[in-house]
A and B are shown apart, each in its own frame.
Chain A
Amino acid sequence: MNVSKDLVAASATPLILSILSQGENYGYAIIKRVRQLSGGKMQWTDGMLYPVLHRLESQGLIKSQERVSETGRKRKYYRIEDKGTAVLKEQRSQWMLVYSTLKQLWETKPCLT
């Protein structure tokens, strides 16, 4: 079972912000982390991550910095800004609300009488 495209797109922002809230990171590692956490079931088209990252940066939620990695390769590292942390908190409560609503519906047996 793979996650639908719409859901992948909708969850991109909270996923990226959550990963970055654990420390700064770069594009390739973010994708690898998502793949690993979802057991490979959240299939991102890798390249689509970058426009999202750039949009988040232009909104001031994250900030990028180009650095040379230990392997000698140029990488663009992103880290979360205060505004991004606030947005993540807001999104988190929204997702929790959706989750708890669905959970209640799915766990209680429908009463037919």
Chain B
Amino acid sequence: MDARVFNAKTVMGDKTMFDLNNAINNWRMNLSGKQTCAKSDIDEMESHLREEIDSLTASKLSEQEAFLIATHRLGDPDSLAAEFAKVNTSILWRKRLFWILAGMLTFIAARHLSSLALSGCYLLGAVGGLLGYGFGLVSEFIGIAVFCLTLFVFCSACRPSNTPRLDWLFRTVRGKVILCAAFGFVFIANPLVEFLSRALGGRITDVEQWGQIMLVSALVRRPFQVLLFVGFMVLLIRLRSSNVREARE
């Protein structure tokens, strides 16, 4: 009987236990998400936070209470980030430049991936004898889908709060290695497959069918490029309004 009561208590205790390191980690994540504090700034403030918590728990407060008071005394992350932004202008620009370059690289990778998918389709079609208008249309859409999917994965990776959590791709070493390997693979595979599809396609099928595919490709790609432009504009406007919303909250 006693053992069961004790057991229940430990189970309850585990569930409601306040994990200080976890709380501090969340606090760190929140600050580093603001993009203006360097890691060393956050380290320094964490050390401050821990000393304050130590001194508060020494005066008989619980860890959770001490954490709440200490973070409150340290100041809210938004105004801290704003203060640091005045000092760390170079960090802010470095991060902005990083995202601009990351976006450009992703765009290039998306184009390469989409053309790889397209060439793959042509290659399969040429080998399997599936050619003509319909086939051209299907492969074009597959290419576009791959392009959009790459951009979507990138966007998910950028936003740590998104439901499909892909931010580890940028944050962990493993993620970075996978990204680099993927880039390398795409850059090497793309010209190879394209060359094969052209070489095999020309040899196996007749010129007229190739012409049909190219015609469809040209007809579909132009409207898609216009749509892409419109999509980017919409995205920019959406991002602006979401920033305003976050700032208000």
Contacts and interface: CB of A to CB of B under 8 A. Distances in A.
- Do most interface residues of chain B lie in helix, strand or loop, or is the interface mixed? helix
A90 interface: no
B75 A46 contact: yes
A47 B47 contact: no
Interface of A: 27-28, 31, 45-48, 50-51, 54-55, 58, 73-76
A27 B42 CA distance: 13
A54 B47 contact: no
A28 B53 CA distance: 11
B36 to A, nearest CB: 10
B80 A28 contact: no
Give the interface centre of B44, B47, B88 by most chain A CB atoms within 10 Å: B44
Contact of B80 (A47, A54, A73, A75): A47
B45 A47 contact: yes
Contacts of B80: 47-48
Contact of B44 (A31, A50, A55, A58): A50
Interface of B: 40-41, 43-45, 47-48, 50-52, 73-75, 79-80, 83-84, 86-88
Contacts of A75: 47
B51 A47 contact: no
10 contacts: A27-B44, A28-B48, A45-B73, A46-B73, A47-B74, A48-B75, A48-B79, A48-B80, A54-B41, A73-B51
A51 B87 CA distance: 6
Contacts of A45: 73-75, 79
Contacts of A48: 75, 79-80, 83
B75 A47 contact: yes
A27 B73 CA distance: 14
A32 B41 CA distance: 19
Contacts of B79: 45, 48
Contacts of B75: 45-48
Nearest to A57: B87
Contacts of B40: 76
Contacts of B83: 47-48, 51
